[in-house]
Amino acid sequence: MRPLLSLRVISIFAIVAFVLLGFKTNDAKPSSYKCMIQMTNYLGEGAYIAISLINSKDEYEATLYVQGDDDEWYFDIKEWWGFQGRKRTTIDAITGATISGGERAISVIQIDDEKIDRGYKIRFESAVEDQEYYKDDVEFELTSESIKSKVGGNGFIRYVRMIPQ
Q: Which residue has the higher pLDDT, 106 or 8?
A: 106
Q: What is the pLDDT of residues 105-156, one digit of tens each?
A: 999 999 999 999 999 999 999 999 999 999 999 999 999 999 999 999 999 9
Domains of the chain, start order: 27-164 (2.60.40)
Scored b (16 or more CB within 10 A) or e, 105-132 reads: bebebebbeebbeeebbbbbbbbbeebe
Q: Helix (H, G, I), strand (E, B), or coil: what is residue 151?
A: strand
Please tell me the number of Cα atoms within 13 Å of 82 on its side-chain side.
Answer: 6
Mean pLDDT of 35-61: 96
Q: What's the pTM?
A: 0.80
Residue 101's pLDDT band (cuts 50, 70, 90): very high
What are residue 94's phi and psi, to 5 degrees? Answer: -125, 45
Count of Cβ atoms closer than 10 Å to residue 92 Cβ: 8
Amino acid at 132: E
* The pLDDT of residue 88: 67
Distances (CA, A) of 112 to 23, 31, 92, 95, 147: 20, 6, 20, 19, 12
The percent of residues in the chain predicted with pLDDT above 70, rounded, is 79
